[in-house]
Homo-oligomer: A and B are copies of this chain.
Amino acid sequence: MVSIRDVAKRANVAISTVSKVLNHYPNVSEETRRKVNTAIAELGFVPNSIASALSSKKTGRVALVLDVNRHVQTVDEIPMQYIIGAINKAKELGMDIITVFFTMIQEMGVEEMIRYFQSQSIEGLIICGLSKQDTMLHRLVKSGKFKVVLIDAPGVAENTSSIHIDNTKAQYEVAKRFITESNSKSILYIAGKKNGYVSEERMLGMKQLSEELGLTIFSRVGNFSELEARRITMKYAAKKDAIICASDLMAIGAMKALIDMDIYRPVCGFDGISLMGYAGKQMHTVKQDFQTIAASAVEELARLMEGGSGQEIILPHKLIRMKYLDVIS
């Protein structure tokens, strides 16, 4: 393997000079810079990131922690969108993304988690969909051992930022538009998780709307489960005008149930996953750009790692109607 040493020899300069050229230090003369660069080209030198990381104590390694259910709901495309967004941005910034699943760390105590990430030389974490019940992960974040960006969970500190859309507003807006257009009077709302951060925010949006419109909204917790949404729909939909769900996946479960029950009710979703295009002619939903969200998370983490301090970032959403043909073309 050709090293910085060989380059130095060939260019007739010191090792440190080569390093300075490599890292774009200012005080290197144009001539030396040229000499070094031609030597690099001639030798086909590639800097060794491992050695660089050891010496500089900066690995640029970031863990993307995902809540992936290995067996249930494999059609959920959101994690993949996060991965794509994060990896592309990381490449741009010269960072490395190590993907980690909740299942891999859920049995660990805080100490073990810290050891795990430290042994991987990880400097920062992007945690997606942290819920209130994840005590250990919360403590890990609070430990201050890592810089953290939370997607879809609150929490701002010296070492922690938070990124999400305005869930309350989005739920309010999409529901308002949906109710107005479908002219519905009685609504079944299939909420997310009890005690879930985004679930509560979305629920709040529904509350605000119900007060504004003077509607009472009948709601049940669907736990973001397609199957549970199906059950709830089977049980309650007949007596309601329309169904609003806190996620597209639940909306699809509801839609499928309605088809099986052979009754029609308009359904409104949340997220804008492409599977929603398969559910009905055109489905009202909130479109979140998960790739952009993840990319912003990586950028924000880079900022934290350079000494910036935590902040809350609210990204925009869109109200859309999803159609099959739009999705596949």
Contacts and interface: CB of A to CB of B under 8 A. Distances in A.
Interface string A72-94: 11110101110110011001000
Nearest to A228: B328
Contacts of A72: 328-329
Contact of A275 (B54, B75, B91): B75
A44 B98 CA distance: 23
Given A70-B84, A91-B104, A274 B46 contact: no
A54 B73 CA distance: 41
A195 interface: no
Interface string A13-54: 000000000000000000000000000000010111111011
A75 B256 contact: no
- Give the interface SS of chain A, mostly helix, strand, loop or mixed: helix
A273 B68 CA distance: 16
Contacts of A111: 44
A49 B278 CA distance: 46
A101 B73 contact: no
A99 B81 CA distance: 13
A93 to B, nearest CB: 13
Interface of A: 44, 46-51, 53-54, 59, 68, 70, 72-75, 77, 79-81, 83-84, 87-88, 91, 96-101, 103-104, 111, 115, 118-121, 226-227, 230, 252-253, 256, 273-275, 278, 291, 324, 327-329
